[in-house]
Amino acid sequence: MLFGSRSRSLIGLDITTSSIKLVELSQSGKSYRAESYAAEPTPPNSINEKTIVDAPAVGEAIRRAVKRAGTSSKDVAIAIGGDAAITKIIQMPRRFTARELEGQVEIQADQYIPFPMEEVSFDFQVLGPSPTDPEMLDILLVATRTENVDQRKAAVDAAGLTARVVDVEPFALENACHLLVHQMPDGGMQHQIAIVDFGASNTTFSVLQDMRVVYTRDFSFGGQQLTEEIMRTYGLSLEDAGRAKKEGGLPGNYQPEVLDPFMDDMTQQVSRSLQFFLASGGGREQPDQILVCGGCANIPGVADVISSKVGIPTEIGDPLGQMKISSRAKSQGIRKDSTALLTACGLALRSFD
């Protein structure tokens, strides 16, 4: 658990340039239940390239989402972008006590962090014995500039909430992928699975090997481009274009002239990401499956288009597929938005670490 500690149930709070989504989960045995959910549009110009520049406005949107969700919880887990974090696996002797380990990591951290330590927030997690030397421990060191944490905490504070955990988006996504195992061959073990999470303006492409992320890539592409193309083609406002994209009612030429070219672009982005992955290290092989998530995953037929053009079996990823849903969360449309809830669910799962 990074940059924080948990005291009780956490709201998973995913803050992006287009929307603010919160999910609260409960656990019974090995099963989860979605207790509350809400999404609010992100205020215009309040986030610039993942940097929150208007914390009070974002905080007010978070407050509205909390009210709509009907949750009484005040503790949240949030995430910084993977590109804002430095991650490094370092090794320490197994003989160290927990306190000695903490001190040694702090001493060595400045070797790996290219910023003054007084400007940095960092944490570490023991991964286990090193596979190359059983007398050593592999330690995951994670660091970011403190300002990246502070601007998100400021928005959470403005909403009257407390940020108990600050995670990193790729780790939250890896955590959430355990909610997709029902869709993976052999539960994801002995397989490589690609997860493509299409956001509004950014997309994350990750590859899991035995349910651990071995590759991740963020790039600028998302559903906002389709919204803007609808806006240009049909002379609509951005708000009306976004509504038409979700609810339908566009002219008959929408599919061949606007939607099909956008799906071709999605396919090209997936294909390019696969090429980057295969070139990233020796012995890389094509994934056995692709799971498409994010708002764009709701485009009818998109999985079939990607599968046919890339040549890898493709499905729509549904993290809520085996989850019970409370009537409160159901009334807020959580099922309809499920493909876009990977990060929020991954953060909410920190409640049970």
| 57/137 same-domain check | no
List, for residues 102-136, the tens digit of each pLDDT value. Answer: 888 888 888 888 888 899 999 998 988 998 898 99
Question: Which residue range(s) make up the domain with 205?
Answer: 181-316
If you average pLDDT over every residue of the chain, what do you get? 92
Residue 159 lies in a domain: yes
Residue 1 lies in a domain: no
Instruction: Give yes or no for residue 7 having a pLDDT over 50.
Output: no
Q: Name the token pair of 283.
A: 């012995």
CATH number of the domain to which 114 belongs? 3.30.1490.300
Residue 5 lies in a domain: no
> How many independent structural domains does the chain possess?
3
Residue 4 lies in a domain: no
The sheet with strand 19-28 has its strands ordered as: 162-168, 75-80, 11-15, 19-28, 31-41, 324-325
| 293/344 same-domain check | no
Give the whole-angstrom CA distance, residue 180 versus residue 111: 37
pTM of the complete model:
0.90
List, for residues 60-70, the tens digit of each pLDDT value. Answer: 999 999 999 99
| 69/172 same-domain check | yes
Residue 341 lies in a domain: yes
- Relative orientation angle of helices 238-247 and 223-234, to the nearest 10 degrees: 110
Going by pLDDT thresholds of 50, 70 and 90, the confidence category of residue 2 is low
With vertex at residue 96, the alpha carbon angle to CA 95 and CA 102, rounded to the nearest 5 degrees, is: 160
Q: How many CB atoms lie within 10 A of CB 164?
A: 22
- Please give the pLDDT value at position 137: 93
CATH number of the domain to which 248 belongs? 3.30.420.40
| 141/155 same-domain check | no
Query: Could you tell me what percent of the chain has a pLDDT over 70?
Result: 98
* DSSP 8-state secondary structure symbol assigned to residue 334: T
Instruction: Give yes or no for residue 3 having a pLDDT over 60.
Output: no
- Residue at a domain's end among 100, 130, 146: 146
Distances (CA, A) of 106 to 6, 113, 209: 22, 11, 30
List, for residues 218-277, the tens digit of each pLDDT value. Answer: 899 999 999 999 999 999 998 899 889 988 889 999 999 999 999 999 999 999 999 999
Give the whole-angstrom CA distance, residue 92 versus residue 99: 13
- Residue at a domain's end among 146, 168, 194: 146
| 202/267 same-domain check | yes
